[in-house]
Every structure is written in structure tokens, then in C-alpha cells.
């Protein structure tokens, strides 16, 4: 099994679940997908599939898992901030009201001709941040390489009041969905 992702959180989640895998970073230009006028779920699923296909092209006999996480704020797709200024704008927006975190997951094995893709959505209800908290968050750099400019913690988060849905989805790899996709993969492989 190969995880087509550079994300340490995805590696952590997959490892903690007991999977044996290696990591191969996909060669996908995510910016080429940004102009497509699609909804957040379709966008995340397309990117997840593109990442899985990119890695599977060189590993046809392996099961390849691709994932992509985006944030949907009132229909606006929000990805990873490019710099501190954008991170601040995103954080101000997202922590003003509820938003959805959507992760697309793809399972691909080219030698079997199997491509499965689906997505999960979790609603996050944030706490309002003070100006000091916002400045501290931006100064910490913890927003780098994170959809929506933040990462939720397993043990709770001072900026999140509650969530509705999968915590592992907000962390970047919905393990419940991945389990269902891997069972579907096994069924498809046997048929």
C-alpha cells in the first residue's frame, strides 16, 4: 500500500490504524485545478484521484491512497494559504462562523483497473478568536500547508467549540471512509 501524500498527519493516522505502507509524494500541480467551477466535494475528489493516479502510474501493482482536504465556507472553496497575509484573511473568515471540512479520498490499483473515490464532510463550529490569539496563530506558522490555515488537535482545540462528523476527516484522512473504500476495493478485486 502506498500513501500518495506529503502530509505528516495522514501518515500518522494511517500508521496509528495499523496499516503497513510507504509514502510516495504525488506530482500534481494543485493550482491547475483551482479554476474549475465545481463544488467543494467534487474538487476534493478530483484532486485526491489525480494524486492517487499520479503515484499509481509508477506503481501499477500497489494499492494507492490519495487524499485532498479543502474547506467550504458558504460555497467558497478554501485551500492552503500562500503566505501569512492570506492565512490571516482565511482565519478571520473561518473563525467567524461554521464551516465544512471536506476530504476526498481515492483508492487506485491500476493492475486491477480499480479506481474508487468518495469524500467526507465535517462541520466545524469555531470559537471566536481574539486579536491576540489571531496574531499568535499567524506568528506560530502552524497554518502552513493546511487547508483553511489551521489543524485541529485530537485532544481538543481551544479555537473549536465542537464538530459534527469525523474528527479524522478534519485531520486530513477520514479513517471511517477509508475503511469503507478499502472494503469496496477488496470486493471489486474479487469479482
Between CA 151 and CA 142 the distance in angstroms is: 8
How far apart are the two ends of the chain, measured CA to CA in Å? 20
**Per the residue annotation, which of 29, 61, 68, 120 is the catalytic one?**
68
Residues with Cβ < 8 Å from 84, sequence gap 6 or more? 138, 143
Residues with Cβ < 8 Å from 80, sequence gap 6 or more? 144, 145, 146, 147, 149
- Show the cell assigned to 140: 506560530
- Show the cell assigned to 49: 484521484
117 Cα distance to chain centroid:
13
Is 68 designated active site? yes
- Could you list the active site residues? 68
Amino acid at each position: 500500500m502506498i500513501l500518495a501524500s506529503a502530509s505528516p498527519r495522514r501518515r500518522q493516522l494511517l500508521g496509528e490504524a495499523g496499516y503497513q505502507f510507504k509514502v510516495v509524494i504525488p506530482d500534481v500541480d494543485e493550482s491547475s485545478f483551482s479554476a474549475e467551477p465545481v463544488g467543494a466535494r467534487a474538487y476534493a475528489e478530483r484532486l485526491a484521484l489525480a494524486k492517487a493516479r499520479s503515484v499509481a502510474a509508477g506503481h501499477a501493482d500497489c494499492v494507492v491512497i490519495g487524499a485532498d482536504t479543502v474547506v467550504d465556507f458558504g460555497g467558497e472553496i478554501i485551500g492552503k494559504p500562500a503566505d501569512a497575509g492570506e492565512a490571516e484573511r482565511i482565519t478571520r473568515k473561518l473563525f467567524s462562523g461554521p464551516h465544512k471540512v471536506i476530504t476526498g479520498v481515492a483508492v487506485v490499483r491500476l493492475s486491477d483497473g480499480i479506481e474508487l473515490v468518495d469524500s467526507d464532510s465535517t462541520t466545524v463550529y469555531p470559537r471566536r478568536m481574539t486579536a491576540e490569539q489571531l496574531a499568535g496563530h499567524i506568528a506560530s506558522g502552524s497554518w502552513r500547508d493546511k487547508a483553511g490555515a489551521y489543524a485541529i488537535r485530537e485532544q481538543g482545540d481551544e479555537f473549536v467549540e465542537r464538530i459534527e462528523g469525523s474528527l479524522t476527516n478534519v485531520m486530513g484522512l477520514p479513517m471511517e471512509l477509508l475503511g469503507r473504500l478499502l472494503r469496496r476495493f477488496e470486493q471489486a478485486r474479487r469479482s
